Chains A and B, each alone.
Chain A
Amino acid sequence: METKIWSPTREVIIGCGRPVVIIGERINPTGRKKLAQSLEQGDMSLLQEEARRQVEAGSQVLDINVGLSGTDEKALMVLAIKAVREITDAPLCIDSANPEVLAVGLANYEGKALVNSVNGEEAKLKEVLPLVAHYKAAVVCLTMDDKGIPKDVPTRLAIADKIINEAVKLGIPLEDIIIDPLAMSVAADDQAGLSALDALGQIRDKLGVNQTIGASNVSFGLPDRPFVNCIFLAMAVMRGLTCPITDPTNWLIKETLILCDLMLAKDEFSMNFISAYRKQFPLED
């Protein structure tokens, strides 16, 4: 199954027969003080710098989240989309916990965007899915609902199934649905890694849709977090992860994902890996 999103001048195709698509996560002020401060002042230069760096590092899609307490998130979203467009024509992933912000973002987006996100909560389904249908966007669906985040695989599958049913009722095609089966911290629950991996595998096998996952949750509370994230990502790609939302400016993560492509015969003559390596470690002369 292939999910296609685009800007007026660039199309990105996500699918399990294709190389991994990296959705750059860095345009998000949560836990990023400098970016938060600059956004609060309406200064888009740091955000543009993040966009530029991520695209250069291999992001094909950029996630845009400008959720900051005490600011006008809607106005910021419009500004952010415009600012990123001055830097790159990469398709965007409009990210907000507030459906009104998603609506404003979609209204101000030229092309077909990805929406981040809907989940199985009744209110979310009612508010977000009609927007996705109206703007003919694609959407990230988190496998959680009014009862919380499930730890087990069957509940995740059931929630994914429920969201897909609701989406299809509104005319959203299956290929425009990207499931995020939610990886939790292994430090807090040592079964969390396996359960997320099994969920990925079963969702791919039974529902066939594209999947994303926030890998950095997995390593929360552990030492050597980047390496923990990489191992999880590699295992997740094997189970059906096709478009991780992650940080490609982190070389370890980028290298891991490129090597996944290579090992799964999606990098002819290793050329992507070699050229990325050369860029990261230039020859002296």
Chain B
Amino acid sequence: MADLQAIKDAVLSGKRKDIVALVQSALDDGVEPEVIINDYMIEAMKEVGARFEAKKIFVPEMMMAARTMQTGVDIIKPLLVGKEGGAKKLGKVLIGTVFGDLHDIGKNLVMLLLESSGFEVVNIGENVTPEQFVAKAREHNVDIVGMSSLLTTGDPHVKSTIEAFKASDMKDKVKLICGGAAVTKKFSVGECGADGYATDAVDAVRVIKKIMNIAA
């Protein structure tokens, strides 16, 4: 019988070399691909997120865990193509760092956690102008736009990005959430009218799920 707990453990401890054989053996034993992803890998990443939030693990460990999951998902993916519901994502999120700011670590962590929670993420990088944010959101037809701002000088750009969305045809189509060391809830939600604010990567997943009415 396939050792499904071992798959969870491999993701938890970031054992990328072990995951391939473990997933393959589970598939060979007839375990449903969706079960492997949803009940074991996503569950493992939930635990990873909680440990990170509790400062029990560090950034590289979280990245290794996410990569391990990704390696596992890559094996499973071909089996899900065309299968009803199998590859269904929770939602599509566009993410970028605001204009004038080149910080990427926090944003990339948010991306990793969102992906491993079942979201599709479009990363548009750093130093993104309000116009680029809106154009990319339209192009990719996303549900959520996440903007990251780490510089105290970034406030005007957070504001103008939110204003650009409010003034565009995307106004009712996307929800906007903000995060990063320089942003506060008071400023982003209170003053600028963003739909949500997240304190860190784990919180970002929580906030986005809440906005989209997805059970945690």
**Is B213 at the interface (CB under 8 A from chain A)?**
no
Would you call the interface of chain A mostly helix, strand, loop, or mixed?
loop
Do A220 and B152 have beta carbons less than 8 Å apart? no
Chain B 127-168, CB-CB to A under 8 Å as 1, else 0, gives 100000000000000000000000111010000000000000
Please name the residue on chain A nearest to B184 by beta carbon: A69
Q: How many residues of B contact A (CB 8 A)?
A: 18
**Is A221 at the interface (CB under 8 A from chain B)?**
yes
Given contacts A68-B152, A144-B102, A188-B105, contact A220 B126 (CB under 8 A): no
**Is A282 at the interface (CB under 8 A from chain B)?**
no
Do B102 and A220 have beta carbons less than 8 Å apart? no
Given contacts A148-B102, A188-B108, contact A70 B59 (CB under 8 A): no
Identify the B interface with A (CB < 8 A): 58-60, 63, 100, 102, 104-105, 108, 126-127, 151-153, 155, 181-182, 187
**Is A7 at the interface (CB under 8 A from chain B)?**
no
Contact residues in A for B155 (Cβ distance below 8 Å): 69-70
**Is A256 at the interface (CB under 8 A from chain B)?**
no
12 contacts between A and B (CB under 8 A): A30-B181, A31-B181, A67-B151, A68-B152, A97-B151, A97-B152, A187-B59, A188-B63, A220-B59, A221-B58, A221-B60, A221-B105
CA distance A192 to B102 in the complex (A): 16
Chain A's interface size range is 20 to 34
CA distance A223 to B57 in the complex (A): 9
Contact residues in B for A98 (Cβ distance below 8 Å): 153
Please name the residue on chain B nearest to A68 by beta carbon: B152
Among B127, B152, B153, B181, contact of A148 (Cβ-Cβ < 8 Å)? B127
Contact residues in B for A70 (Cβ distance below 8 Å): 155, 187
Contact residues in B for A97 (Cβ distance below 8 Å): 100, 151-153
